[in-house]
Amino acid sequence: MNKNQAPVSFKSNAANALNNPSLRTAMRNITSTFGKKRVDAIGDNPFEEWRERASEIRMDVLNNIGEYVDMFSKNATKAGAVVHRAKDSSIACDIVASLLKDYGADKVVKSKSMISEEIHLNAYLEKEGIKVVETDLGEYIIQIAGETPSHIIVPAIHKSRQQVGQLFCEKLGCEFTDDPTTLTKTAKKILREEFITAPAAISGSNFAIAETGSISLVTNEGNGRMVTTLPPLHIAITAIEKILPKLSDLALFLRLLPRSATGQVLTSYFSLITGVRKEADSTGAKHLHIVLLDNGRSEIVKSDCKEILKCIRCGACMNVCPVYGMIGGHAYDSTYPGPMGVILSAVLNGLERAHPLLDASTLCGACSDVCPVKVPLAKLINRLREIKVENGLAPELESIGMWGFGAAAKHPKLFELGQKAANAAWPIARLLDKQTVDRLPKPVPVSFKRRVL
């Protein structure tokens, strides 16, 4: 964790994003489509009951995280995996790089993993001379574009198909087309070769099951299955909070995740991996290593923001967020964007760096309403704003203003004086912040109170 970085330039990033018309169009299309599909997929199902139960299960995991991590590690080991505990990003990266070197792998195929983004694994491995190939189509697109994901489920959501066509044309030397099927075929052909020749694979894990020591992958492209069955070495990286207690808990979460994420009733592919390939198995990795990342989580479960760790990374909160929908994910300049990203960035990277992101919310609460595990997102953002103020990170002028406001709220005479002063000083206020003041009506000379009394 690097807690001493300059604050994110969120305000200017957001303003720049607004001036990008193709981004605006892409965001508008996709956020509205997902929102609608989600509602349809939930249909008449007892969503409230489901999410209540899911929230309870996730809370139980967080309340007993130590026990569950031990249980998972013990059972995964019993099944033939090697479990590594990584306290932070650099340790996790180091473990993965050393494993690849030990097995003599100079190339690795990857299925989508936000944890690997969180620890900046690709850059680390490339520096160590290991070639990394992303195999999720969206991840592949942004990898060859040299970008980062702008959405946790749909990493290339910010790109139009014309832009993808151009990119493929430039980087892969194929003829320009903006037909998604042709583009997918092009990528598929290249990736298939990589799957077959890669000596090692890296995946994430949507859920890890304590009871059985299993890891699991929920995907739509089948690349997750290729990655975890073809190469002889499979390294799965996951974070400690992704554990579910029992195998039977999966049923509920597999109902909630695809519905919330992409508005699908069922995911296209689901892989449950328990240990290494057994003698009778026709597929599966011979060696399975699981890296369990902490990266501050053991502390976060003790904080006011504990509940953000219930998150199952479905992305529904960003799909409905008006701010995210307007500016896209890159403006957040952080691994995780949108409402969950604002909170995760603050707790993982520290407020010094992440505090400007707390402005990225109108506190409209649309996120809290859709979250399948009832993370109280708006409440947590509001709580983090309080912590920001407590830590003296709010702009001084704002704090002085709010102090005056607090004093006036307690003293009606002072409050009235303030109202009168606002009316008189409106032209001065306009000089200070013309942009805001011009959007407000002028305070009336005689307040309602004066009129009514």
Sort strands 200-203 and 107-110 into parallel, antiparallel or unpaired: parallel
> Of 172, 266, 363, 421, which lies in the binding site for other proteins, with binding defined by CB under 8 A?
363
Both tokens of 159, joined, read 């790109």
Q: Which residue has the tokens 């001084």?
A: 396
> Least CB distance from residue 86 to ligand SF4, whole Å?
22
Between residues 228 and 260, which has the closer beta carbon with respect to ligand SF4?
Answer: 260
Site membership for ligand SF4, residue 311 (CB under 6 A): yes
Q: Which does 340 bind (CB under 5 to 8 A by kind): other proteins, ligand SF4, none?
A: ligand SF4
> Least CB distance from residue 159 to other proteins, whole Å?
21
Between residues 202 and 311, which has the closer beta carbon with respect to ligand SF4?
Answer: 311
Q: Which does 248 bind (CB under 5 to 8 A by kind): ligand SF4, other proteins, none?
A: none
First to last CA, the chain: 58
Between residues 69 and 342, which has the closer beta carbon with respect to ligand SF4?
Answer: 342
| Binding region for other proteins (CB under 8 A) out of 14-22, 57-65, 74-82, 187-195 | 14-22
Site membership for other proteins, residue 40 (CB under 8 A): no
Binding track, positions 25-44, relative to ligand SF4; x by CB under 6 A = --------------------
> Of 365, 425, 426, 429, which lies in the binding site for other proteins, with binding defined by CB under 8 A?
365
Site membership for other proteins, residue 66 (CB under 8 A): no
> Least CB distance from residue 257 to other proteins, whole Å?
23
> Least CB distance from residue 261 to ligand SF4, whole Å?
8
Site membership for ligand SF4, residue 325 (CB under 6 A): no
Site membership for ligand SF4, residue 341 (CB under 6 A): no
Binding residue count for other proteins, defined by CB under 8 A? 58
> Least CB distance from residue 260 to ligand SF4, whole Å?
6
Q: Which does 179 bind (CB under 5 to 8 A by kind): other proteins, ligand SF4, none?
A: none
Site membership for ligand SF4, residue 312 (CB under 6 A): yes
What's the per-residue H, E or C state across the chain? CCCCCCCCCHHHHHHHHHCCHHHHHHHHHHHHHHHHHHHHHHCCCCHHHHHHHHHHHHHHHHHCHHHHHHHHHHHHHHCCCEEEEECCHHHHHHHHHHHHHHCCCCEEEECCCHHHHHCCHHHHHHHCCCEEEECCHHHHHHHHHCCCCCCCCCCCCCCCHHHHHHHHHHHHCCCCCCCHHHHHHHHHHHHHHHHHHCCEEEECCCEEECCCCEEEEEECCCHHHHHHHCCCEEEEEEEHHHEECCCCHHHHHHHHHHHHHHCCCCCCEEEEECCCCCCCCCCCCCEEEEEEECCCHHHHCCCCCHHHHHCCCCCHHHHHCHHHHHHCCHHHCCCCCHHHHHHHHHHHHCHHHHHHHHHCCCCCCHHHHHCCCCCCHHHHHHHHHHHHHHCCCCCHHHHHHHHHHHHHHHCHHHHHHHHHHHHHCHHHHHHHCHHHHCCCCCCCCCCHHHHHC
Site membership for other proteins, residue 399 (CB under 8 A): yes
- Residues in 138-167 at the binding interface with other proteins, rule: CB under 8 A: none
| Binding region for other proteins (CB under 8 A) out of 157-165, 214-222, 242-250, 442-450 | 442-450
Question: Using CB under 8 A as the criterion, which residues of the chain lie in contact with other proteins when the complex forms?
Answer: 11, 14-15, 18, 322-323, 326-327, 358-366, 368-369, 382, 384-389, 394, 398-399, 402-403, 405-412, 415, 419, 422, 433, 435-436, 439-444, 446-449, 451-453
- Tell me which residues touch ligand SF4 (CB under 6 A): 260, 311-317, 340, 370-373, 375, 377
